[in-house]
Amino acid sequence: MDIPGPEPHPDGGAGAVAAAGGLHTYQLRLHARYGPVVRFQLPGADDAVSIADPVLLEATAHINQRPKRLFEFLAPLCEADNLQVLEASEHGPWRRLLLSVFAGRPSHEQHFARFTELATDLAVRWAGHGADEPVELQKDLTALTLRMICAYALGGDAADPDRVSAAFEVVLTEYLGRLYHVPVPGTEEERARRAEEALAFLRATVDEVVAAHHRSGGRGGRSDLIGALVESGASPARIRDTVMVTLLAAHHTTGVAVSWTLHLLGRHPEAAARAADELDRVLGDRAAPSYADLRRLTYLDMVLKEAMRLFPPGPYGARETTEPLVLGGYEIPAGTTLFYPFWAVHLNPDHWPEPERFDPERFTPEAAAGRPRLAHIPFGLGPRSCEGASLATVEALLTLSVLLKRLTFRPVPGHEVRPIERFVLWAADDIRMYARPRRPRGGAGGALRAGP
């Protein structure tokens, strides 16, 4: 049986995507018209098969290969092999090592105090904004999460955090800006030189951290990314590449996750009030949660999940089949590009009634138990899913707690928040909101106690 889909066009599909107003709206239309499995022209990949049904996705969840062409743009960040498209045999040990660090409680706890300080600095700064002076959520929150992941991956001592953050922004602006044709100041040569210098600085910084690790006698164990990489015998180039890819994967994604959550809470005051009540109940007069508190913030966790359903920070994924596959009655040959429209999966009306409606109650344990496992996949699926999922959740819940304990967020009238797909799901003109101090319950005279 032939897989349904639109007729191919000589422009490689770019026109159809542009006419639909972006890849996501195009996906929604394709799946509404042709069903859960669609063959279409994915710009940059010729032909691809998109799957928007979580039950059918299960049949692909074992696939451990990404299509090389689609991830070529990340090659400049890597000196050895492009880590996004490592062969399965090499990827397996690398993934296990990352998970042993990122998913482990020791690393979360070790960095929690620093994360809390950074989030608190932002909350205090926003609290100082005048009543008519909106804050820019994406700009400030992605800067915060870059600081957090730099502290996490490079430690506090060896690296100058301002310089590291600035250098990484230069690298991203150049390489991702190229991808999306975003105008960047300077001639092509000037920009390329700036990006190369910034990348060289970042790589030298990683080398310094490695040298400091050796000097210290190799302490750190599984709570320390660079320590774990050194101890695994990874080459210096692989260590540098892993740090680069970690900064890339962790930085914008986590920042926009928090931004979209605050955007939704600002438009749903009843949910915001419930989240604030929960924070008052769990934190009392403390300004920030402890690591253990995060598990008790069950409503906030549901809000974050619902926000990542409606605005998944990484809206797409891709795989390449290595052997023939049968999917919903269709035969898919080896070597096919599979496109994962995470965002469209999250809006599939068969599993999400009134899919556009914001409703954190969808994530009560009872409601979640009734849905297919892959109906909610903001962190992807299978052996190439996000290794940073649990760390990202810790960072996001902590940041939301610190901000929502101190502040309330209201939309700026007339400011249009328009999602735009740029590697992560961005808002075209940032998300501007009024952040006003709230009067907390719990503390004497409403004063908050610093620290968890």
**The binder of ligand HEM chosen from 20, 43, 385, 436 (CB under 6 A):** 385
**Which residue in 54, 363, 387, 398 binds ligand HEM (CB under 6 A)?**
387
Whichever of 392 and 448 has its CB closer to ligand HEM, that residue is: 392
Residue number with CB closer to ligand HEM (282 or 425) = 425
Q: Classify residue 224 by its DSSP letter.
A: -
Instruction: Compute the distance between CA of residue 324 and CA of residue 99 in angstroms, rounded to an integer.
Output: 30
Q: Supply the minimum distance, in Å, between the C-beta of residue 379 and ligand HEM.
A: 5
Of 16 and 403, the one with the shorter C-beta distance to ligand HEM is 403
Residues 6+ apart with CB under 8 A from 181: none
Count residues binding ligand HEM (CB under 6 A): 26
Amino acid symbol at 356: E
**Nearest alpha carbon to residue 448 among 120, 17, 193:** 120
Residue 53 or 287 with smaller CB distance to ligand HEM: 53
Q: How far are the Cα atoms of 16, 59, 179, 195, 197 from residue 190, in angstroms, in the given order?
A: 34, 47, 17, 9, 11
User: Looking at 392, 397, 400, 427, which residue binds ligand HEM (CB under 6 A)?
Assistant: 392
**For residue 417, which of 311, 312, 346 has the smallest C-alpha distance?**
311
Q: Is 317 helix (H, G, I), strand (E, B) or coil?
A: strand
In the bound state with ligand HEM, the residue whose beta carbon lies nearer, of 42 and 381, is 381
Among 227, 388, 440, 452, binds ligand HEM (CB under 6 A): 388
H or E element that contains 412: none
- Dmax (CA) of the chain: 71
Binding marks (x or -) toward ligand HEM, 249..288, rule CB under 6 A? xx--xx--x-------------------------------
Report CA-CA distances (Å) from 7 to 44, 103, 266, 331, 439: 17, 44, 42, 19, 59
Q: Minimal CA–CA distance to 50: which of 258, 385, 344?
A: 344
Among 245, 288, 417, 431, contact with ligand HEM (rule: CB under 6 A): 245
Burial per residue of 137-171, b for 16 or more beta-carbon CB atoms within 10 angstroms, e otherwise: bbebbbbbbbbbbbbbbbbeebbeeeebbebbebb
| Contact window for ligand HEM (CB under 6 A) among 73-81, 230-238, 375-383, 427-435 | 375-383
- Write the interaction track for ligand HEM spanning residues 56-95; mark x where CB under 6 A is met and - where it is not: ----------------------------x----------x
Contact yes or no for 285/449 (Cβ under 8 A): yes
- Contacting ligand HEM (CB under 6 A), which of 240, 376, 384, 438? 384
Q: How far is the CB of 215 from ligand HEM (least distance, A)?
A: 25
- Interaction of residue 246 with ligand HEM, rule CB under 6 A: yes
Distance, in Å, from the CA atom of 133 to the CA atom of 243, rounded to the nearest integer, reads 36
Question: Which structure tokens are listed for 208?
Answer: 């310094």
Q: Residue 188 burial (CB < 10 Å; 0-12/13-18/19+)?
A: exposed
CB 331 within 8 A of CB 324: yes
Residue 227 or 317: the one with the smaller Cβ distance to ligand HEM is 317
Stretch that binds ligand HEM, among 210-218, 244-252, 294-302, 321-329 (CB under 6 A): 244-252
The answer to whether the annotation marks 386 as part of a ligand binding site is yes
- Inter-helix orientation angle 236-267/188-215, to 10°: 110
CB 258, CB 143: distance < 8 Å: no
| Range in contact with ligand HEM (rule: CB under 6 A) among 5-13, 26-34, 128-136, 312-320 | 312-320
Q: CB of residue 313 vs ligand HEM: minimum separation in angstroms?
A: 4
Binding mask 92-111 for ligand HEM (x = CB under 6 A): ---x--x---x---------
Interaction of residue 378 with ligand HEM, rule CB under 6 A: yes
- Positions that interact with ligand HEM (CB under 6 A): 84, 95, 98, 102, 245-246, 249-250, 253-254, 257, 313-314, 317, 378-381, 384-388, 391-392, 396
Q: Which residues are annotated as a binding site?
A: 386
Q: Which residues are annotated as a binding site for heme?
A: 386
